Amino acid sequence: MESNPGAVLLRIPAASAYLSLARATTTATCARLDFSLDQLQDITLAVDEALSLVLLDAVPGSELVCRWTPQPTGVLIDISSTSTSGRTPRTTTFAWMVLTALVDKATANIQDGVVTLSLQAARAQAVVS
């Protein structure tokens, strides 16, 4: 994985009690990247949905790994954990529809038993009058 000095990495137990840490990190990281308040709420909700989807299939006792990588126009957020099913979450569910409505792009992949959801969000352009 390419090194990015502004990237934030968080490893937490795959348990719902720790998800608030990832939500708080999302808000803090995106605020630092100058996202609007509305976008902060949308991205944090998207991360919450992604965390829930990954957590549902995480191997008990495993970790959730979250990475926020600044991009020139926004942020890339990767959330991953070892999967019990060996499959990505279904993209036809209501949770996936909510997730994709809140960010610019959402993808899911699995490699070597680890499922990763990737979210991309771009900062809104300021309106000049």
Domain of 21, CATH number, reads 3.30.565.10
Is 1 within a domain? no
In SS3 terms, 70-129 reads as EECCEEEEEEEEEECCCCCCCCCCHHHHHHHHHCCEEEEEEECCEEEEEEEEECCCCCCC
Is 127 within a domain? no
Q: For 109, phi and psi rounded to 5 degrees?
A: -145, 165
Is 22 within a domain? yes
Is 12 within a domain? yes
Range of the domain at 81: 8-122
Instruction: Say if residue 4's pLDDT is above 80.
Output: no
Is 100 within a domain? yes
Q: How many domains does the chain have?
A: 1
Q: What is the pLDDT of residues 52-72, one digit of tens each?
A: 999 999 999 999 999 999 999
- What pLDDT does residue 1 have? 45
Is 109 within a domain? yes
Is 129 within a domain? no
| Predicted model pTM | 0.92
